[in-house]
Structure 1
Amino acid sequence: MQSIEEKIQQLKRERGAIIIAHNYQPDEVQAIADFTGDSLELSRKAAELEEDVIVFCGVHFMAETAAILSPEKTILLPDRFAGCPMADMITAEQLRAKKAEHPGAVVICYVNSSAAVKAECDLCCTSSNATAIVASVPADREIIFVPDTHLGHYIQKELGREMIIWDGYCPTHSRIRDIDIKRELADHPNAKVMAHPECPLPIRDLADYLLSTGQMCTHAKESDENEFIVATEMGLLYRLRNENPEKKFYSVSDRALCPNMKKIDLEKILWSLEDMQHRVTVPEETANKARRSIESMLELS
């Protein structure tokens, strides 16, 4: 009798499919994926791959971004209810209203936003390139930054540049507290703190390094340091530990867990391949506008 992993591999071959998984996905999902990475990295990988069917193990805005960059491919999201609370904290209508209040402003959206919001923006950014993207805007232009207030205020402080910042946030990163880091530092005094810039200010102030998930993986691999406290969604520890078995990684808190990122499991991947569900598409007009904001970012990066 075939195991569920064997069934997935067989169906993957039959469908000409490939499985990609975000760094926050459950361990068993990352284990069966052909590629793991952050949201934009995976969307770019999807565009480069020869396979026409991409099983995207992440949340909805990520699958949308892949569909925007690869409109000719079939992008499947194994759980159609896997969303992102931060992305839902702003709508295209709300952004249009804010733009009307600040005509002429350059609008920058974090990649953690819907396709409809991206379509209303001039530039997209990721946590790893956000500072450079904001710095590229002429000093005499107003900037509207959506939807992450923590990332926005981090960039504002780094550059000394005032922005109009939307009040959205990641609930998972917002559940991490400074006392969590202080407790872990007391237990592991030689450890360095890697925190995601989506974290609130008290966490950012305690971090040795403020890094995207991809940057955390690179830094952990290249650094001479051997112990790390990781202030981001705890799913990243699976990849960090696999890639650096000789090093130690500590999750900052068991509250650093995103329920949406944990909705996909092996059964849902199997069902997704069996039924070719759930396909994520973006209306052509929206996709074309959103693609411009992403491509403008890639040119600057």
Structure 2
Amino acid sequence: MFTTQQPLPEEYLNLSEEEMDRRIRKVKEELGSRLIILGHHYQRDEVVRYADYRGDSLRLSQLAAQADAEYIVFCGVHFMAETADILTVPEQKVILPDLEAGCPMADMADIEDVERCWEQISAQYNEEFVPVTYVNSSAEVKAFCGRHGGLTCTSSNAMKILKTLFSQGKHILFLPDEHLGRNSAMHLGLEDKDMFLWHREEWEMELPEAAPKIILWDGYCGVHQRFTPAHVDYVRSKYPGVTVIVHPECSHAVVEKADLDGSTDFIIRQITGAPEGSIWAVGTEINLVSRLAKENPDKKVFSLNENTCLCVMMSRISQPHLLWALENLQKGNVVNQITVKPEIAKDAIVALDRMLEMSK
């Protein structure tokens, strides 16, 4: 399911940007409707410009499932390509240009640790717990949620899903991002006393006697962890009238100080629709922030943290890797195909479908 990236042939490392551009466009033209390229918002410009669709991970996977293309080249990270493979038909092949483009946050929820946590929760409490995993998780964790009456969520619908489950009197195990879970719950009026943080690296965890409303997994996004309350204070002092907008993967202390928080699409919509001359400090990945600044020249748009907050894993997808994958497809050689075992895909789809149903 996940093999090691083979070394990129030397010839691809020595090509000029112009030559790579010419050859990528040539392959795209020759393969035509047999190929679609998906580009996540966090991709660098040199890659995302070739994307037929640009968006967040779930939306791109859904677009792949609606397409008739034989080859789906996903310029993102591993869990995203897994989701695309889960949602597409067997005849479609999902390719990740660099197999080492993973997601540290998704990797923080190891399936064995999740199962151990669930066993302890089930043994200690009579209350009904529902596992909810952020789509930024492995196929195995999605499948676990599907098997145990749970579902997935996105940063756009997490609050709605939590609200629905709480209204049904249910308790929640939220994976793998502590901050999205905490921020969503606190927006709904929950307090610290209603939550418990499960430390994944501690083998002997002692759960509270009374069942908390939500158990949070202690995973996080390394990019969004780099924004701090001090950054918010600094930009407010330097730019009077600034609007601070952050992603809910930021810590609650940052979200509390910000003016707005929401998903990547929410951030894009807010800035794109903002008045001319407005000032925006944005707490999310730098490639997206830089692109928003370029696409909104009538506004001042900059990163909340002046030190570049780059998703290193996302940046592993480069022009040379993309060209190499495409030229192999051109020759009929499928490289770096991402495949999810049918039994895992079956349960993962259940979790995804439950989310879509609850999000209506």
TM-score range normalised by the length of the shorter chain: over 0.9
Output one character per residue of 1:254-280: Cα deviation in whole Å (capped at 9) or x when no partner: 241111011111111000112232111
Residue of structure 2 equivalent to 1:181? 232
Q: d(CA) in 1 for partners of 2:153 and 2:119?
A: 22
Match of 1:126 in 2: 154
- Aligned residue for 1:135? 163
Q: Report deviation, 1:250.
A: 0.6
Match of 1:144 among 160, 173, 176: 173
Q: Distance in 2 between matches of 1:91 and 1:107?
A: 14
- By how many angstroms is 1:71 displaced? 3.4
Task: Specify the alignment match of 2:286 in structure 1.
Answer: 234
Secondary structure of 1:136's match?
helix
Q: Give 3-state SS (helix, strand or coil) of 1:170's partner.
A: coil
Q: Paired residue for 1:60? A: 78
Aligned to 1:66, the other structure's residue is in SS state helix
Aligned-pair CA distance for 1:48: 1.6
- Contact 1:87–1:114 (CA under 8 A) maintained in structure 2: yes
Letter in 1 for 2:325: S
Contact 2:293 2:302 in 1 (8 A): no
Aligned to 1:171: 222
Task: Indicate conservation of the 8 Å contact 2:244/2:304, yes or no.
Answer: no
Structure number with bigger Rg: 2
Confirm or deny: 8 A CA contact 2:132 2:152 kept in the other structure: yes
Change (3 A) 1:54 1:257: same
Match of 1:260 in 2: 313
Contact 1:23–1:38 (Cα < 8 Å) also in 2: yes
Mapped pair 1:245 → 2:301: no
SS in 2 for 1:228: strand
- The aligned counterpart of 2:275 is 224
Q: What CA RMSD, in Å, does the superposition of the two structures yield over aligned residues?
A: 1.7
Is contact 1:25–1:262 with CA below 8 Å preserved after alignment?
A: yes
Does residue 76 of structure 1 match 2:95? yes
Whether contact under 8 Å (2:158, 2:184) holds in the other structure is: yes
Query: What fraction of aligned residue pairs are identical, expressed as a percent?
Result: 41
Secondary structure at 2:301 match in 1: strand
**Consecutive aligned runs of 4 or more in structure 1 exceeding 3 Å deviation:** none
Map 1:68-107 onto structure 2 (within 5 A): 68-72=86-90, 73-103=92-122, 104-107=128-131
- Asked whether 1:11 is paired with 2:27, we answer yes
Match of 1:285 in 2: 343
Secondary structure of residue in 2 paired with 1:235: helix
CA deviation string 1:32-73 (max 9, x = no partner): 222211111111111122322111111100110111111331
Unmatched segments (≥5 aa) in structure 1: none
Distance in structure 2 (CA, Å) of the matches to 1:206 and 1:255 = 21
What's the secondary structure of 1:169's corresponding residue? Answer: coil
Task: Give the superposition deviation at 1:242.
Answer: 4.3
- Match 2:40 to one of 22, 36, 40: 22
Aligned pair count reads 301
- Whether the 8 Å contact between 1:86 and 1:147 is mirrored in structure 2 is yes
Establish whether residue 111 from structure 1 lines up as the match of residue 111 from structure 2.
no
Is 1:230–1:252's contact at 8 Å kept on the other side of the alignment? Answer: yes
1:205 alignment counterpart: 256
Partner of 2:282, secondary structure, is strand
- Contact 1:25/1:261 (CA < 8 Å) preserved in 2? yes
1:197 match: secondary structure: coil
TM-score (norm 2): 0.80
Alpha carbons 2:290, 2:302 under 8 Å: kept: no
- What is the match of residue 274 of structure 1? 327
- Aligned equivalents of 2:69 and 2:283: distance in 1? 35
- How far did 1:195 drift? 0.2
Q: For residue 30 of structure 2, what is the amino acid of its counterpart?
A: E
Equivalent residue for 2:245, pick from 175, 190, 194: 194
Conservation of the 8 A alpha-carbon contact between 1:99 and 1:105: no
CA distance in 2, matches of 1:175, 1:157: 21
Pick from 184, 195, 217 the counterpart of residue 155 of structure 1. 184
Residue type of the partner of 1:231?
Answer: G
Give the TM-score, by structure 1 length.
Answer: 0.95
C-alpha separation between the residues in 1 aligned to 2:310 and 2:63?
25
Structure 2: stretches of 5+ with no match in the other structure? 1-15, 123-127, 191-212, 329-333
